[in-house]
Amino acid sequence: MFTKKVKTLLAVALPVALAASVVVITPASAGGTLTRTPGQEVSYKPYGPEYANVATTKDGNDACSWYNTSKKDYSGKTLRVLTHAIPNMGKPTALHAKQFEELTGGKVEVEHASFGDLYAKQLRSFQTDTNQYDVVFNGSYQIGDFHSFYAKVPDSVTKGNGSLATLTPLYKELYKWDGETKLFGIDADRHFLKYRTDVYENAAAKAFYKSKTGKELAVPKTWKEYNQHAKVFNGYKPAGQPAGVKFSGTTEITQKGGLMFGAFIDRVAPYAKNPNVKGGFWFDENMVPQVNNPGFVAGLTDFVEATKYMPVGGKNFDLSKEIESFGRGDSLLSYTWDDAWSKSNEPTSPIKNKVKAAPLPGAEKVWNRVTKKWDTPKGGVNYAPYIAWGWSSAVTAASPAKAMAFDYLCFWANEANHKLDLTIGDMGVNPSRTGDFTSDFWVKEMNWGKPAVDSWLSTMQNYEKNTNRVFDLRVPGVSDYMTAMENGVAKALAGQATPQKALDEVAKEWNAITKRVGITKVKSAYQNVIALEDNIR
């Protein structure tokens, strides 16, 4: 009897197991021209000479791996994608579109646009109901304007072995709106400080600083210290300074329309984000703008002072100029996005292994908008890092090809592609998943110096734990708010208005924007931001 049972079991199980093994080892190619086997090497080399030096990696086991994607058949179907200009986001979008076409047989039409046009084109498509795109790329801070036009990201992507399952908890929240994941998060950005170790770890430079100020030189803890260091070392010649490059104190984003609002938020946050005051950093409970409170004014005053210690032309730097300038060794200090960091770590960088990362400086006082007084922070310094928006994407709610669109994005961000994209500086993809925070990858595969990598990763992990963070104003009309703010800040930087007067004008403008967009609408959306600021989520 027992033998008969075993025989029956074997008779059923063996063919099934055999069939399963055949399925597993059979190269998959449902609709495309490219066949894949599980765990096969993934290489970008066939896609152009610019990828000749990019590392290779093994295909992952995730739901949207190359192998799993190759089992899909989208022959005869077309996907319309709106993305940023090449290279930042535009390059990986086009590359993964080509790969997706080869794997699935579908067609992916990619349209590139400048950052401003990306917003405008989406807006036009949604407002005129013309439904021009299936997939759109955006800055995640624009979620307040667009969330109702986006489809919910399926659980299969955000959970289990989906591409977004390993996003850090902070970023999982950032890509949600009212509890639903609306953005397909492919990037995560945090602003942090970058400083030159050939000054901060150099005995002669330390002695020079002491001779000028009577103080010991250490990585700046406050923006006041930051400005002082920039002042003292403006025109100095560090030991490792690249030949022919003049040295200045600081490189920052200062150009109106060039993402300067990010730099401004960095500088004002520790003066204005009080850990003991809940319920709003940007507005108070009555939706009165806080952009002109003494905390913001103090931050702007520092920003204006710093313009004296910038390189030639530094008062008109957008993000790309900031990256270029710091990357070629123009200055002692810089901050904002990861890009200048990656640039300074590139193999050909003249300052490779001469830069480390640290948390953004804080402030020795912080404004309390409730008591209308300055508070002295616990520990002497108030830190309030700005968790800047990262690149994200979305599938439009009106898309007739949602399944294909999500499959494309899921493939875009699969384990193997994510890893390779991280290694290419201009792709615009930064660490966003728990696995990205191990130094081995950066040291061994990217050949970055371990002390530098450790300083960078620990800074980012510190931000994950920090409970006094500032987030973007993720409300409808955010671009208007930021434009108005940049305009006021630009006037102060150009000396056309005092910081107080410039920010008073911004506050007035913000009131007009709130009125225009609708106070109820803005207030309701702002609750989502407060939840992040006050660590309710």
Partner 1 sequence: MKKGYPRFFLLPGLILLIAIIIFPLLFTIRVTFSSWNVSQTGLNFIGGENWAEMARDTRYWGSMLRLFYLSFLTVAIQYALGFAIALFAWKGIAARRFFRVLWLIPMMTTPSLMAIIWRSIFTEDIGALNGLLSRAGLDPVNWLTESGPANVAITIAEVWQWTPFMFLILLAGLLSLPKEPFMAAAIDGASAWKTFARVTFPMMAPISIGAIMIRLIDASKIFDSVFTMTRGGPGNATETPAAYIFQRSLQDFQIAYGSTLALTYLILAILTLTIIGKVFARLSKPRGI
Binding site for partner 1 (CB under 8 A): 116, 120, 123, 127, 145, 255-257, 311-316, 321, 325, 330, 476-477, 479-480, 483, 487, 490-497, 512, 516-518, 521
Judged by CB, which is closer to partner 1: 212, or 508?
508
Least Cα distance to 26 among 67, 54, 64 occurs for: 67
Q: Identify whether the C-beta of residue 348 lies closer than 8 Å to the C-beta of residue 327.
A: no
The residues with which 181 forms a beta bridge, in sequence order, are: 176
CB 82 to partner 1: min, Å: 17
Judged by CB, which is closer to partner 1: 389, or 441?
389
Judged by CB, which is closer to partner 1: 466, or 483?
483
Q: Identify whether the C-beta of residue 185 lies closer than 8 Å to the C-beta of residue 168.
A: no
Q: Identify whether the C-beta of residue 366 lies closer than 8 Å to the C-beta of residue 295.
A: yes
CB 494 to partner 1: min, Å: 3
Q: Identify whether the C-beta of residue 267 lies closer than 8 Å to the C-beta of residue 300.
A: yes
Distance CA 17, CA 13 (A): 6
**Burial environment of residue 12 by CB neighbours within 10 A (0 to 12, 13 to 18, 19 or more):** exposed
CB 516 to partner 1: min, Å: 6
CB 446 to partner 1: min, Å: 28
CB 472 to partner 1: min, Å: 16
Judged by CB, which is closer to partner 1: 347, or 495?
495
CB 155 to partner 1: min, Å: 30
CB 175 to partner 1: min, Å: 22
CB 333 to partner 1: min, Å: 17
Distance CA 513, CA 500 (A): 20
Q: Identify whether the C-beta of residue 113 lies closer than 8 Å to the C-beta of residue 365.
A: no
Judged by CB, which is closer to partner 1: 8, or 527?
527
Structure-token pair, residue 23: 């399925």
Q: Identify whether the C-beta of residue 68 lies closer than 8 Å to the C-beta of residue 96.
A: no
Judged by CB, which is closer to partner 1: 397, or 494?
494
Judged by CB, which is closer to partner 1: 435, or 518?
518
Structure-token pair, residue 42: 């993934």
Judged by CB, which is closer to partner 1: 314, or 385?
314
Q: Which residue, chain included where needed, has tokens 């100020």?
A: 213
Q: Identify whether the C-beta of residue 303 lies closer than 8 Å to the C-beta of residue 264.
A: yes
Q: Quick one: which H or E segment has residue 23? A: helix 2-25
CB 315 to partner 1: min, Å: 4
Judged by CB, which is closer to partner 1: 310, or 420?
310
Backbone angles phi, psi at 294, to 5 degrees: -55, -30
- Which amino acid would we find at residue 8? T
Residues with Cβ < 8 Å from 16, sequence gap 6 or more?
none
CB 168 to partner 1: min, Å: 31
Distance between alpha carbon 225 and the CA centroid of its chain, in Å? 26
Beta strands 57-58 and 41-42, pairing class: antiparallel
Judged by CB, which is closer to partner 1: 266, or 330?
330
CB 511 to partner 1: min, Å: 12
Least Cα distance to 504 among 520, 518, 523, 491 occurs for: 491
DSSP secondary structure letters along 246-272: --EEEE----TTTTHHHHHHHHHHHHH
Structure-token pair, residue 124: 């036009």
Judged by CB, which is closer to partner 1: 279, or 313?
313
